[in-house]
Amino acid sequence: MTSIDFDKLSEEVIAILEKEPSVVIATSQDNKVTARTMSHVNDGLAIYFQTSDSSEKFTQIKANPQIAIAVSNMQIEARAEICGRPGACPEFIRLFKAKYPRYYEMYTNREDEVLIKVEPAKIKLWKYVSGAPCCEIADVLEKMAYRENQ
């Protein structure tokens, strides 16, 4: 294990989240795990998405806020928080409308839509450094990062 710069790795993660059009979100309840592709936006490392309050993912998040996200070469362990209606968060509206104008028009103002905020705890990026496979890990809770060789 080699210590690396947390801020630099965080910037790399943020760039991936901003670039990618969608993420895969896994949720679970009562030993049942499900995953689906979702449109997302991020504000730094915080990730936001909206969903219907009648969806399976919403029911699972209410029961178990521990979720996982996969995107590109990255895996995120996180905690989800239900934040009410999307319109109550102007920053989400600004980001979502800019990234997904059509989805904003179709879904955001529906009465059944809720906003979910995801706070990462641990982020893993698989990559090659000097031709060797490794995993760079950001421990967001401890604000530290390190590299593990594979």
- What are 27-57's pLDDT values in tens digits? 999 999 999 999 999 999 999 999 999 999 9
d(CA 70, CA 21): 12
Domain count along the chain = 1
**pLDDT of res. 141:** 96
Beta-carbon count within 10 A of 57 CB? 21
- pLDDT at residue 57 in the model: 96
pLDDT of residue 31: 94
Residue 17: what pLDDT? 97
Residue span of the structural domain in which 79 resides: 2-149
Say how far apart CA 105 and CA 33 lie, in whole Å.
30
User: What pLDDT does 118 receive?
Assistant: 98
Half-sphere exposure of 88 (CA within 13 A, CB side): 11
For the chain, the average pLDDT equals 96
Q: Please, which contacts does 86-93 make with residues 24 or more away whose CB atoms are closer than 8 Å?
A: 86/50, 86/113, 86/114, 86/115, 88/115, 89/48, 89/115, 91/43, 92/41, 92/43, 92/48, 92/50
Supply the DSSP symbol for 109: T
- Looking up residue 126, the CATH number of its domain turns out to be 2.30.110.10
CA distance 23 to 20: 7
pLDDT in tens, 90-122: 999 999 999 999 999 999 999 999 999 999 999
Residue whose C-alpha is closest to residue 117's, from 65, 70, 75: 65
Q: What is the pLDDT of residue 18?
A: 96
Q: What is the pTM of this model?
A: 0.93
